[in-house]
Structure 1
Amino acid sequence: MAPPLSKARLIGYARVSTEDQAHDAQLDELKAAGCAEIHQEHGSGASRARPVLARLIREIKPGEVLVVVRLDRLARSVSHLLEVIETLEAKKAHFRSLQDPIDTSTPQGMFSLQVLGAVAQLERSLISERTRAGIKAAKARGKKPGNPGMRERRPDAIRKITLAREKAYLDELIAGADKWMPTVRRMRPHQSWEDVVRVLGDSGQPWTVARLRRAVGKLVAQRMADSALLKPASRKNPEDRLMTLIAGIAMADPDLSLRGIAAQLERMRERTPRGGSTWSASSVRKQLDRARKAGFTLPAP
């Protein structure tokens, strides 16, 4: 068994593929490593649809370390592993596998991660090359590329492809939900979908109202989000709308300074209460004070 880790708070994650498998061996190793808490999940390694893992990554705090016994307990592929670790790093959290040389809190572990990244890139290139070669060979033999059932518009083939695409879409949503769902949860249904999309867009996430509503609806259908998020936003007078928008920005990024919020409002081309285009820190503070009096739970000033 691996020796206990450093003083950082350790969060264990154990996964087995079927209901009849037990977590016992993983739990023993994670406890011996000093994990303060351990999250358990049943789910296939081929799927990213893991609500326990998604919630864990969403709630992990800066400085904490996500610990697994082996890499295959966390990720279905190297690219998935790198995506999870990138998300943790963005939250200033770390990752360690007890039986693999991966520990993102150490230089040696980061080097191993970079090697994995290079391997993943090579793997993608080889797959792409093999795919192109296969298509070329099929054409030389007179075969048409693609699914024969889809070309013939057979209902069973169409249904199979539709279900596969829907599953891939849901897996992708769940895998990336920690990047945008916290903002949705903090702003909806108090804010309109348009304002939520504008806040997400300023953080570099390309959403439209229709795409965001569909995505949230899918998570609600999977019982991974509260149905209240889909309720219509109440109509507000312009000043109240501005107050709740600024409150939403502050809740979406608690580390954002007053000047940072002002800059974001200017990028969004949001007008001040007096119609101006330049925001001051004092104007932002005034709106946040109003929001606190209105009952919004905001970061400490």
Structure 2
Amino acid sequence: MTFIRAYLRASTKEQDAGRAREDLEAFCRERGLTIAATYEENESGASLHRPELFRLLKDSKPGDILLTEQVDRLSRLSDKDWDQLKREIKDREVKVVALDLPTSHMMMKTEDAFTGRMFDAINGMLLDMLAAIARKDYDDRRRRQAQGIAKAKAEGRMKGRPEDAGRNEAIMDMLRKGQSWNTIVRATNCSRSTLAKLAKRLEGTEAAAG
């Protein structure tokens, strides 16, 4: 039996990885099909560190379908990493179907062997093309962002984030009370580098007071 496995991804924890769930479910309903399992994660598409994607592939049997909203949900990878992911997909004999790739929709149907191989070849070529476009878009955005930051610094417009004085004072109070760094990080969600700066500031304050 062929299973349809939906893959949902967003880049950051602030984004809703499940946003496209309804679109994928509607796509299957229109074809009289049902999604058997859903895999959702918040990871960068430019990284192969995708635990849920690889869990999906590990769970899959030959002929299963990996269904995703857009090809860029699957890959904004470099050529090398994309080749590695493609090999994994091919070795598992998983069919990739993306809502933004109409030719892939034919993979949902049972075809004779020749037709299936033809669609597989066409789909693979278009997947490569869209993955390359997605990566270029990622690289372009990163380059524009870096240029914008460099320009802002050169013009003296970039001052960094304003300090959260209330939170930082609370953190220093926790340090005064002898709470561990791990406890403070878990309670405030601050970075260890921020914590180190505040600890150093507290030492300076206490030294001056002494």
TM-score, L = length of structure 2: 0.46
TM-score, L = length of structure 1: 0.33
Structure with a larger share of its residues in helix: 2
